[in-house]
Amino acid sequence: MKIALFPGSFDPITKAHVDILKRSLSLFDKIYVGIGVNSSKQSLISADKRLEMITAVFKDEPKLEMVTYEGLTVNFCQKIGASHMIRGIRTVSDFEYEKAIAQMNHALIPEIESIFIVSKPGYSSISSTIVRDILRFGGDVTQFVPSAALPFLK
């Protein structure tokens, strides 16, 4: 069974995340959507609420399982039996950042491969950071997040 992890903060999940996940489904038998919990970061949405939100967005997709985790992502891959890690790339700077992490992960556990999926052009400017800022200042994020996520953002 080919298993992958799509890790992220998903604070909140965006249409760009959804696109990367949907495009990954044909590549793997099972994909874990891993909500990384980082105690040193200030989240807008609690990890439990993010888990509920992502589950609502993908309620009809049996190949996906949503989980939270702490610690090194590559160690979590080992724990769940994932041989691949999926990462979305929006920009050149994303690529440089993700490449460095992938190389470090490979040095730690060479059996886990990082797969980069380039975002569609229409999604390249969407990031959770920008969506959080819009939310903080009362803006409308409906064009950036999946409709099933909206009730969790109020």
pLDDT above 90 as % of the chain: 95
From CA 143, how far away is CA 103, in angstroms rounded? 34
Angle between helices 73-80 and 92-108 (to 10 degrees): 60
**Which member of 50, 90, 119, 132 is catalytic?**
90
Phi, psi for 28 (deg, rounded to 5)? -135, 155
Whether 136 is a known active-site residue: answer no
Whether 84 is a known active-site residue: answer no
In tens, the pLDDT along 65-115 reads: 999 999 999 999 999 999 999 999 999 999 999 999 999 999 999 999 999
Residues across the chain: 154
In the predicted structure, residue 151 carries a pLDDT above the cut 90: yes
Whether 23 is a known active-site residue: answer no
Q: For position 68, which CATH number holds?
A: 3.40.50.620
pTM: 0.94
Q: Residue 107 is part of which domain span? A: 3-152
From CA 4, how far away is CA 134, in angstroms rounded? 31
Number of domains in the chain: 1
